[in-house]
Structure 1
Amino acid sequence: MAGPLHFDALAETYEKARPPYPEALWSRLGELGVLRPGVRVLELGAGSGQATARLLGAGAEVVAVEPGGALAARLRQRCPGARVVVARAEDAELGGARFDLAVAATSVHWLDLDVVLPALHRAVVPGGHFAVWRTAFGDPRVRTRFRDRVDAIVARRGDEPVRPGPGELDTARWAERLSASGAFAVVHVEEFRWRIDLGADQVHGLFRTFSDWTADEAAAAGRAARDLGGTVTEHYVTPLVMLRRGDA
Structure 2
Amino acid sequence: MPGATHFEEGAEEYDSARPPYPQALWDRLRMLGLLESGLTALDLGAGSGQATGPLLAAGMRVTAIEPGRRLATLLEAAHPAPRVIASRAEGVELPAGRFDLAVAATSVHWLDLDIMLPKISTTLAPNGRFAVWRNVFGDADAPQTPFRSRVAGIVAARHAPERPGPPAEDLAAMTEALTARGLFVVEDVSTYRWTVDLDAAAIGRLFRTFSDWSPAEVEQAVAAVKHLGGSVIEHYSSWLLVLAPTRRR
TM-score, scaled relative to structure 2: 0.95
**In the alignment, what sits opposite 1:215?**
215
Q: Deviations over 1:175-227 (max 9, x none)?
A: 22212223222101122111111121111011011111011111221222222
Instruction: State how far apart, in whole Å, the 1-side matches of 2:197 and 2:241 are.
Output: 26
Cα shift at 1:232: 1.2
8 Å contact kept, 1:126–1:245: no
State the SS of the aligned residue for 2:91: coil
Instruction: State how far apart, in whole Å, the 1-side matches of 2:209 and 2:169 are.
Output: 19
Cα shift at 1:10: 1.0
**In the alignment, what sits opposite 2:75?**
75
**In the alignment, what sits opposite 1:49?**
49
Which runs of 4 or more aligned residues in structure 1 lie more than 3 Å from their structure 2 counterparts after TM superposition? none
The gaps in structure 2 that reach 5 residues or longer are none
Amino acid at match of 1:110: W
Instruction: State how far apart, in whole Å, the 1-side matches of 2:154 and 2:245 are.
Output: 42
**In the alignment, what sits opposite 1:180?**
180
Query: What is the root-mean-square deviation of aligned Cα atoms in Å?
Result: 1.3
State the SS of the aligned residue for 1:135: strand
Instruction: State how far apart, in whole Å, the 1-side matches of 2:9 and 2:73 are.
Output: 12
**In the alignment, what sits opposite 2:192?**
192
- The percentage of aligned residue pairs carrying the same residue is 52
Amino acid at match of 1:67: P
**In the alignment, what sits opposite 1:232?**
232
Number of corresponding residues = 247
State the SS of the aligned residue for 1:194: strand
Cα shift at 1:93: 1.6
Cα shift at 1:74: 0.4
Instruction: State how far apart, in whole Å, the 2-side matches of 1:28 and 1:220 are.
Output: 37
Instruction: State how far apart, in whole Å, the 2-side matches of 1:166 and 1:239 are.
Output: 16
Cα shift at 1:149: 1.4
TM-score, scaled relative to structure 1: 0.95
8 Å contact kept, 2:201–2:222: yes
Q: Deviations over 1:29-54 (max 9, x none)?
A: 11111111111000100001111111
Amino acid at match of 2:113: L
State the SS of the aligned residue for 1:234: strand
State the SS of the aligned residue for 2:161: coil
Amino acid at match of 1:151: A
2:89 is equivalent to residue 89 of structure 1: yes
Amino acid at match of 1:83: R
Cα shift at 1:87: 0.6
**In the alignment, what sits opposite 2:31?**
31
2:41 is equivalent to residue 19 of structure 1: no
**In the alignment, what sits opposite 2:126?**
126
Instruction: State how far apart, in whole Å, the 2-side matches of 1:238 and 1:166 are.
Output: 17
8 Å contact kept, 2:134–2:169: no
Instruction: State how far apart, in whole Å, the 2-side matches of 1:13 and 1:56 are.
Output: 23
**In the alignment, what sits opposite 1:150?**
151
8 Å contact kept, 1:203–1:221: yes
State the SS of the aligned residue for 1:90: helix
8 Å contact kept, 2:5–2:68: yes
Instruction: State how far apart, in whole Å, the 1-side matches of 2:158 and 2:175 are.
Output: 31
Amino acid at match of 2:44: L
Instruction: State how far apart, in whole Å, the 1-side matches of 2:76 and 2:170 are.
Output: 33
* Paired residues for 1:80-119 under 5 Å: 80-119=80-119
State the SS of the aligned residue for 1:247: helix
> Does 231-240 or 99-108 show the bigger shift?
231-240
State the SS of the aligned residue for 1:21: coil
Amino acid at match of 2:226: R
8 Å contact kept, 1:182–1:247: no
State the SS of the aligned residue for 1:130: strand
Cα shift at 1:85: 0.4
Instruction: State how far apart, in whole Å, the 2-side matches of 1:55 and 1:231 are.
Output: 32
2:247 is equivalent to residue 247 of structure 1: yes
**In the alignment, what sits opposite 1:4?**
4
> Does 137-146 or 177-186 show the bigger shift?
177-186
